[in-house]
Structure formats: structure tokens, C-alpha cells
Structure 1
Amino acid sequence: MAVPADPPPVVDATAEMVAAAYEDNKLAQVLYHDWEAQTYDDKWSISFDERCVEYARDRFEAIVGDVHEPLPYATALELGAGTGFFSLNLKQAGVLDEVHVTDLSPGMVEAAKANAEALGFTVQGRVADAERIPYDDNTFDVVVGHAVIHHIPDVEAAFREMLRVLKPGGRFVVAGEPTTIGDWYARRLGQLTWKATTAITHLPPLRDTWARDREALDESSRAAALEAVVDLHTFDPADLAAMAQRAGAVDVRTRTEELTAAFLGWPIRTFEAAVKPGVLGWGWAMFAYGSWKRLSAVDRLLARAVPARFFYNVGITGVKPS
């Protein structure tokens, strides 16, 4: 196994670098995710408690299905780890043992390592491009990712790299990727909610209590503009499976989730981002999570009749031939 190097310091973006990012997607990915690293967990309600441990474990199990492989996987690599949401919660769930995290963003690697340390364990972290993973062949028992491959320019190359670093018989599991139809309606729901919320909260009766200040809104707008640059793909489940098979994976399967849950979840997430931090409280968080869980149960029933391409999230798993 290649020896992980300490990640370089977080990039301090200049105006010139931000302008250049619109022409250089790799730079855009680094700048945007470095920018997001310090607030990402709050933005997406990420935690490392039972709520998110259960969520991560359930996503993993739903994608893998009825395959009974011994747990924990001894060596695991997370690609595009962000702040470590997927791998660290899977480790707490007993699914993973030794964890290595990688991300193109130095800021995200540092955040994931800090989150692991706060949980009482250590992970190895490297700044790495998923199209050229800096680990030796046949290194890992499992490669995981969450909401990552839609950021990668050459997704098929990333699948080939996952298979290269996996041991024979090893598995990759990627969750939380946007479907083409799901992304279409989610973005429109988000745009409508943002416009309505910012308009209403800036009315005089609510402005002091609910409205985010103008500087925060301007920064959110700048982040949203760069987000449109770093979100490169949406997926049709069948096309995604074919891509992994062309890369050399066997036993490939996809699983879609969130239909009614997405129609609720995207307005909720957008509303939370549009109001002043701290005004909603724990009761709101429990309402939002409980509502999402109930609608997710409805969606599991709808999956028997509704075509997979209409759901918002798609996950995929495959195995390296023995």
C-alpha cells in the first residue's frame, strides 16, 4: 500500500483563481469544496450520531442487497469523502474497519480527519483525484463513495480505478447520486423555495429574526454559481450500470431511492439554507428527519410500481472479478 502523505494546506482562493475555475474544472472542484468544508456538515445536517449512522448503514445495505459478506470490511477507501460522512458513519456502524479517506479538496480531507479524531479514532487521508487513485493495485476490500461520481469528469475511468485498487472479489458501493429526472425536479423545487423564502423573510415583521444578512445571501449565491460548475453529471440507472460493466465490474446492481421524500426534502433543505442559522431549532430538525423517514417508507412501496428513473437518488455496487 502506498504510504499516505499529509494533505497540503487548504487553498486560499483569490478572485483570479475563482475566475479561472470557470475554465478549469479540477480547480473549480478544489475551490468549491474547500469553500464548503467549514460549513458543509451544518449545510447538509450531517452528524456522526445514531441518526446518520443508521442512514449510512441503511443506504449501504439497500444498495448491496441480500449479499452476505463478512463484516467489517478490513480495509476501506472512500473517494470524494468530503467531511467523512459516509465512511466514518459506516465505521461506527461496524461495516468498515480501517478507513482511508480521499478528496480532491485539501479542506475536505482535513475536515474528515478532524471529524474522525473527534470520534476517537484515526483515519488516513490523502488529497487525491478519483481518476488517478494514488494507491497500489489490489489494496482494499471495499471502496465507498457518497454523492461523488457526479463531480468526476470521466466516471468510467473512476470505476476502472476503483476496480484496480480493490482486491479480487472486492466491492465498490457508491450512494447518493442524482438521477437525470430527479435532478430536474429537485433543482426547480430548490429554486422556487429559495425565492419564496428569501422574499418572505425579508418582509419587515420577519426580517430581524428570520432573514439571513445580505453578505451571507451573496456568498450563498456565489457558491450556488460555482456549484453549477462542479456538478457535472446526472444518471439514468441503466446507463450507470452499463458504465460500471464496461469498466470491468461484475455483479453490478443499482438501487434508486427518494421520490416523495425528495419532493419534501429539497424544499426543506433549501428553506434551512435560506433562513438565519439557529432559528429553527432541534424540534424542526426532528420534524424534518421524521417526515423524510416516513416518506422514504412510502417510496419503498412505490418502487414496486414506479420506474426507477423517476426517483431522485441512485446508488450502485459492483465487484472486481476474482
Structure 2
Amino acid sequence: MSDTDTRRSGYILQIKFLLFSASIVPALLIGVLNYGTNFSPLSWLLVIIGLFLGQAGGDYLYYYFTNNHTDNRDAHTKIFAGWKPFFAQYFKKENTSLIVGLVVLAANLFILYYFYVSIGWKILAFAAAGGLIALTFTYLMLKGFKEVTVFITFGPLSIAGGYLALTGTIALEPILISIPIGLLITLVAYLKGAKIKISDDGQNVVSIKNWLIDSLIYGAFGSIIILIAGKILPLHSGLALLGLIPAMMLKKKLSNTSASMAQYLSATVQSILIMIVTTIGIMAGWILQYHYPLNL
């Protein structure tokens, strides 16, 4: 294996593991939004597990419905050649990933029942929306609705639904706070599915939409500033703006309309870290506000 292939495999492995932060990080944020209240740690744990299982189940279904990532419309076919969900390399039959995906999603029904007993019918609407997206995820992705689907799923739907699970309340606050997180997860999704083109010298390069990257980055951090100014987020959550540092580094790395494969994969890893750093900043600010209140 060449150094280039080794480097590419290393980046892909990092991305494979880090991608699950898309469900885990919002779930952690949900708990922090209830910091200092008497919410149930068991309920929080079940929210984390539920969102994780939802993402994992969707991954197995996506793998199956793209014919093990051989569909030409699927970015994994070229850029992430050989990409498989966890343990898929051990599957002997083609339909095993379909069965595993459905079983993983079905496991969430036990978690749903727990919250239905404690909260009531309201949680069913969020669960139905999440389940529908998981089942139709491949169709939506291949039809060009990837960014919108990812934003809604890992932004407002996950965070507002998780907040409802912990508090029994449908509230505007978590929906607003989910906006910057959803935009940054959408940035990850866009980069992960960027298109390959042939450069003038015959090399495979990745086509980059700089305007979309700029819109997602500035939209995310601009919304954080607005939320702080509007007293939705505490002043301490200005720590989230530290995420601008790796974000500007990413913009510099992808300053052209195309990028080499190494630049692209490195930037994809970096985009996940931007989301994690920014969310940690929001959460740290929320906890600091509880102990050391500051007001504008």
C-alpha cells in the first residue's frame, strides 16, 4: 500500500469513528441544557443511546440501499471506496445489512415505550419523524436533499426531541440553540459527499462549493452571536466562538474550487472537530452561567 493510500485509509477511519459525534454531541448538549435541574440521568442515557441507534440503523440501511456503496450517485463509491458500517465486513449475505439496520431501529421502540409511559403521546410525533427519516434517508440523500435532511435530523429534530424526552416540554429554546449545531453537522455532511472531478493534469480532485462552506460556517457562528445577544445562550457561551479558529483554517485549506484528495479528507476530519469544539463551548458556557452568572 502506497503512502497516499495509507494516509487516505487513516483519514477515512478517523471520519468513520468521528461521524457518530453527530448523534452523541447533540445528545450531550440536551443534558447540559437541563443542567441544575432534577432530570433523570437514566432518561439522558436513553436519549444518548436512542440517537446513537438511530444513526447506526440509518447507516446500515444506507449501505444496503446503495448496493453496498456501489451506486454511482453515492459519494462513498469513489471517495470512500471500501467504506462499510461497523461489522459489515462480517456479513455473509447481501440483505444482512438491511436486517441489522431494521433490528437496530426496532431496538429504539423499547426506549420509545419508556418515554411514552413517562411523557405521553407527544414523544410519538418526534419518534415517527425520526423513524421516517431513517427509513427514507437513502432516497432523500440520492435525490439531492442531503444537506436539508441532515440539518433537520441532527439539529432541531434531535435536540428538541431529546429536550422533550427529558422535560416533557416542547420548547422554542432548544430549537433555536440547535441551529448552529445543525449547520455545522450539515457542513460535515456536505464535505463527506463532495463530488470528484478530473483536473487538467488528469488527477482526481474534489469539487468544492466555497459559497456553501462559507454560508454554513458564517451562519453557524453568526447565529451563536445572535443567540447570545438575544439572551437565549448565556454570555459564557461565547466560548463557542473558539470554533472559528479551526473553521478559518478549514476555509484556508479549501480556498480553491477544488482540492486534492488528501486536502479534502483532512478538511472533512477538521469539520467534525469544528462541530465538537463549538458544541463544547456552548455546553461549557451553559454550565459556567449556572455557577458564575453573567448578564449583558
Same fold, TM-score > 0.5, yes or no: no
Bigger share in strand = 1
Normalised by the size of structure 2, how large is the TM-score? Answer: 0.32
More helix by share: 2
Normalised to the residue count of structure 1, the TM-score between the two structures is 0.30
